[in-house]
Structure 1
């Protein structure tokens, strides 16, 4: 079940907020907080980012690495796990990079649909972090525009499946779902 989607830009506070949400959910449910890290250390700067996240991470988290095959890792967890997936954008980026010139937007969308519907059907509870990349400049290359567009669609699907959605801006969490104004509801949306 996807409990919460936390979106935001770089250094917006999305991970710190998602960690607090995950720990609170785990404590309330007497579940195990699990941190599923999706990043791959491709260079020194990325290694430093990962190390910073590890150092700041609360010691109550059990950490699992899942740069690929996320559902396979999820299936090894206890049903009472409350999992923080950090982050969907990085996970999709790895899939995109691995496929290189064979990647298509349709293929990425199919991967996202399978992943997110799979998470929604699991007994474990999930808090998902992802980057909101649709508010910035238009990327120069067609490949990066495809990534941005596909991630936007993954985020929209995750938001539709999640019970709650929060957008973090400058360290401030803004509740997006529930709480939408009735004018913004589409036909078929849950109340």
Structure 2
């Protein structure tokens, strides 16, 4: 089996269909490469809406025609990289939730530029570690950079941090997709 350490990036607005597209793409890759499918979920059940969204995603995978192994890891995803091998296709959903979780997971001050840089580097390094260990890593994120910051320091900092992460990931990705109203638009790379 080819071990090419492929990185794919999928972004779009909230409820744009990006997770469904990413799951279908992961399934296609898994079947064509004979790799095992893994879902790395970063969401935490913080309210009724999020609880229902998590349940819907779980049910979608349970009713899939392929087997998924789900890993729930809202922070410190680097701790999972040793769990995977070149025989695995991993879908991380989603980067924006992971960033939020990491920003508020400790007593460190999120508005300190050094802390911000540390968080960006931690997430980027964790993704690189995952990518090195797996056949294919798909990263799903939300497109939040077009929204105004509403003169809110937290939102402005968050948008800057996710923008930096998006740029780093897309630079290294072999493919990047933007999902608009359920329609994938390939922004980088050739079709698989």
Alignment of 1:70 onto 2:77: yes
CA contact (8 A) 1:5 1:159 kept: yes
The equivalent of 1:40 in structure 2 is: 44
Q: What is the rounded CA distance, in whole Å, between the counterparts of 1:24 and 1:124 in structure 2?
A: 13
The equivalent of 2:59 in structure 1 is: 55
Q: What is the rounded CA distance, in whole Å, between the counterparts of 2:27 and 2:81 in structure 1?
A: 18
* TM-score, structure 2 as length reference: 0.86
Residue 49 of structure 1, CA deviation: 1.3
- SS of the equivalent of 1:165 reads strand
Stretches of 4+ aligned residues off by more than 4 angstroms: none
Provide, for residues 41-95 of structure 1, a one-character-per-residue CA deviation record: whole Å limited to 9, x for no partner: 1122211111111112225211111112212223112330101100111111100
The equivalent of 1:91 in structure 2 is: 98
Provide, for residues 113-140 of structure 1, a one-character-per-residue CA deviation record: whole Å limited to 9, x for no partner: 3223323322432011011111122243
The equivalent of 1:185 in structure 2 is: none
Q: What is the rounded CA distance, in whole Å, between the counterparts of 1:43 and 1:161 in structure 2?
A: 35
Q: What is the rounded CA distance, in whole Å, between the counterparts of 1:133 and 1:163 in structure 2?
A: 22
Q: What is the rounded CA distance, in whole Å, between the counterparts of 1:91 and 1:124 in structure 2?
A: 22
Number of paired residues? 179
Greater Cα shift, 133-142 or 22-31 = 133-142
Q: 1:124 aligns with which of 103, 118, 135?
A: 135
Alignment of 1:150 onto 2:161: yes
- SS of the equivalent of 2:117 reads helix
Alignment of 1:105 onto 2:109: no
Q: What is the rounded CA distance, in whole Å, between the counterparts of 2:48 and 2:107 in structure 1?
A: 22
Residue 4 of structure 1, CA deviation: 0.9
CA contact (8 A) 1:120 1:161 kept: no
C-alpha distance 37-122 of structure 1, shift in aligned 2 (>3 A): same
**Unpaired runs of 5+ in structure 1?**
180-191
C-alpha distance 124-72 of structure 1, shift in aligned 2 (>3 A): farther
